[in-house]
Amino acid sequence: MREIWKHIEPEHLFFCYECSRCTGSCPAAMVLDTPGPRRILVSCLYSGPNAVTGDESLWYCTTCHVCEDRCPQELHIVELLTALMNVAAARGNIPDKVRAVVDKIARTGRSVVTYRVDEERIRFGLSPLSQINVEEVEALAARTGLFEKVKSRP
């Protein structure tokens, strides 16, 4: 548990009264098989981070912050989820899908393939998306140790 509390203050999380408004508003929980922010928070508080850091669905969070906006207790749910992902990553619990996205960012500077976007932009008379300087992305990743943490590159 201490690993998590290095990143965030735990006390206020105990003000959660389990109304589920966060999960009811979560776009990830609407379309994916995930317990949602309320269950992750409650599992972490009462069973410890080990109960959730091995769960791939933890990574479905898009950090959109809607759960925080809707929480009547103004809990910092995204801080908790981010801290849990950091702990999971430090333990090597990074889903292959996340590694693949990091690899794509490393190679192209983008997290998704955009050729269809460019096709649509041309159709509407817009210029293609600008090229991304991958060397800058690589420099940032090197400085943060991202590739080493994810080990997604040969």
The binding site for ligand SF4 (CB under 6 A) comprises 16-22, 25-28, 37-38, 41, 61-67, 71-73, 75, 77-78, 81
Nearer of residues 77 and 141 to ligand SF4, judged by Cβ = 77
Nearer of residues 28 and 146 to ligand SF4, judged by Cβ = 28
Nearer of residues 58 and 141 to ligand SF4, judged by Cβ = 58
Shortest separation between residue 97's beta carbon and ligand SF4, angstroms: 15
Amino acid at 107: R
Report the 10 Å Cβ neighbour count for 30: 11
Shortest separation between residue 18's beta carbon and ligand SF4, angstroms: 5
Nearer of residues 61 and 141 to ligand SF4, judged by Cβ = 61
Shortest separation between residue 101's beta carbon and ligand SF4, angstroms: 15
> Exposed, middle or buried by CB within 10 Å (0-12, 13-18, 19+), for 127?
exposed
**Helices (DSSP H) in 48-145: which residue ranges?**
50-53, 66-70, 77-90, 96-108, 115-123, 134-144
Shortest separation between residue 93's beta carbon and ligand SF4, angstroms: 18
What DSSP assignment string belongs to 123-149?
Answer: HTTPPPPPPP-HHHHHHHHHHHTHHHH
Interior CA angle at 49 toward 48 and 51, to 5°?
A: 80
